[in-house]
Each structure stands twice: as C-alpha cells, then as structure tokens.
C-alpha cells in the first residue's frame, strides 16, 4: 500500500512535492511532448519563485498573477476533458456557436475559482507544507475521479435505464408529464358537427307543385350517439395513473370551467 501511495504521489499532475525529472518519451511526437514538458517545468519554477518573492515583497503579487494567467492560457491550449465535454454537448444538442463559447468561458471561470478556493483551504488548513499539500492533491484527484465516475454513471442510467428495465420485463416509473385532457378511442373518433341555418324557398318536392312551401332550418346540432363495443370507459381522478395506458389523465378543462 505504501508503495502504491508513493507511486501515486510521484505521478501527481499538480507537480506538488515531486521532483522535476523528465520521463523518457518515445514516438513520432516525442520532441513536441518533450518541449511541452520543459515549458511546464519552467512555469513551475517561475511560479515557485514568484510565490517566494511575494512573501518578501507584497508588490510581487502581480507577477504571480501574470504568470498564473499565462500558464492558464498555455494549459488551455492542450487537450482536456472540459473541451471534450463541451464539444460533445454542442454536437449532441446542436447548440449554437455563441452559446458554446459562453459555456466555455463559464466553465473555465468556475474551474479556476474552484481551484483557488480548494487550494487556499488546503494551504491554511495544512499550513502549506510540501508533503501535506502532496497528500491533499492526491486525495482531491482521487475524489474527483470518483465524482466524475458517479456522475457519468447517473447520466448513463438516465438514458439507458428505461430500456434496460423494459428488456428485463420491468416497467419504468410513470411520469405525470404524459398527462393529457380527455381520452382517445382506438379505431374511431368522436366528432360533433352542426348544420348552419338555411332555407328552402318554393321548391317542388317529388314533382308536386301543390306541396311547395317555405321553411327554415334554424341552427341546430346533430349529436350522433354510438355504442362502444369491446372497451370500457374508466374516468380516473386527477393525478391517478390509468391502468390501461399507464398515463395520468388530467380533467377536461371544459368541465372545470363550469
């Protein structure tokens, strides 16, 4: 276990409490990776020097802020999970470019503020010793892996969970979002039609002139009743779930209006 913890500390991505040795790099882009590694080490040393200078001279704070900002730009240019997540979200939801840029700025700002708050808390609680800060960095990394894994599992279950339940014969929980007013009958429709007012003026019926007459049909409705064979009407109360279709039927607005 001690060997495992030591290996984890040596692999700290934050460069806290670890030496600055360069791991051997191979492959077609070895020289590019080597150059990036060297620049990162230079930034680490510059940041460490700026922090020491700030303790002696408060005006060196701006130097530290400038170096941190430059390092943030340099780090953001490389690949990262944040850019992959935002890009995937934009592609999956067809988000406009303007909104995607805004999401990038907001996520970067929240990430920076979170990192500052966490490291300030760790510094004041642990008094900033190299070993304790390394332990804190390792712990935070492990916890971040756990939270990302749990969040990913939750998102996966939201999308695939109902299909898995149906596959094993279980029904997913009913949702009230499917509630609708009234009900439908498969195979036929209920319709009400009206005959507008019209008149018959001096027309011969069946060739008989003596039966000519005038008459008016006032506006009236024909309600055609019909029987429902093979199914029952069960009117559920508001909020109840229909046993037949699995939906919650809201009351008809016409009934509520009185």
Per-domain boundaries in the chain: 10-78
Q: For the whole model, what pTM was predicted?
A: 0.37
Structure-token pair, residue 118: 């966490």
- Please give the residue that has the higher pLDDT: either 103 or 247: 103
- Please give the residue that has the higher pLDDT: either 142 or 86: 142
99/105 Cα distance (integer angstroms)? 10
Q: State pLDDT tens for residues 142-184.
A: 988 999 999 999 999 999 988 888 888 866 555 554 444 444 4
Angle CA 45–118–120, to nearest 5: 65
Q: State pLDDT tens for residues 87-130.
A: 777 787 777 778 878 888 888 888 888 888 887 887 777 775 66
Q: What would the DSSP string read from start to end of 146-215?
A: HHHHHHHHHHHHHHHHHHHHHHTTPPPPP-GGG-EES---TT-----EEEPPEEE-S--BTTBGGG---E
3-class DSSP state for residue 221? strand
Q: Which residues contact 13 (CB under 8 A, 6 or more apart)?
A: 141
Angle CA 137–61–21, to nearest 5: 40
């Amino acid at each position: 276990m001690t060997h495992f913890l030591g290996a984890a500390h040596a692999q700290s991505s934050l460069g806290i409490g670890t030496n600055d040795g360069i791991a051997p790099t191979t492959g077609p882009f070895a020289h590019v990776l080597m150059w990036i590694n060297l620049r990162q080490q230079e930034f680490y040393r510059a940041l460490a020097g700026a922090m020491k200078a700030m303790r002696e001279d408060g005006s060196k704070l701006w130097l530290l802020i400038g170096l941190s900002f430059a390092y943030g730009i340099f780090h953001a240019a490389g690949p990262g999970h944040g850019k992959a997540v935002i890009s995937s979200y934009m592609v999956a939801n067809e988000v406009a470019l303007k909104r995607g840029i805004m999401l990038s700025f907001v996520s970067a700002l929240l990430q920076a503020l979170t990192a500052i708050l966490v490291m300030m808390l760790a510094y004041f609680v642990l008094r900033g010793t190299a070993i304790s800060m390394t332990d804190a960095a390792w712990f935070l990394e492990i916890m971040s892996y756990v939270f990302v894994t749990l969040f990913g599992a939750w998102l996966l279950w939201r999308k695939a969970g109902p299909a898995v339940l149906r596959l094993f014969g279980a029904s997913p929980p009913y949702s009230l979002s499917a509630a609708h007013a009234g009900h439908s009958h498969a195979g036929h429709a209920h319709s009400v039609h009206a005959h507008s007012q019209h008149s018959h003026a001096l027309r011969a019926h069946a060739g008989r002139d003596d039966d000519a007459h005038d008459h008016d049909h006032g506006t009236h409705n024909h309600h055609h009743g019909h029987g429902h064979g093979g199914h029952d009407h069960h009117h559920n109360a508001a909020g109840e779930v229909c046993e037949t279709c699995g939906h919650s039927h809201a009351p008809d607005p016409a009934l509520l209006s009185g």
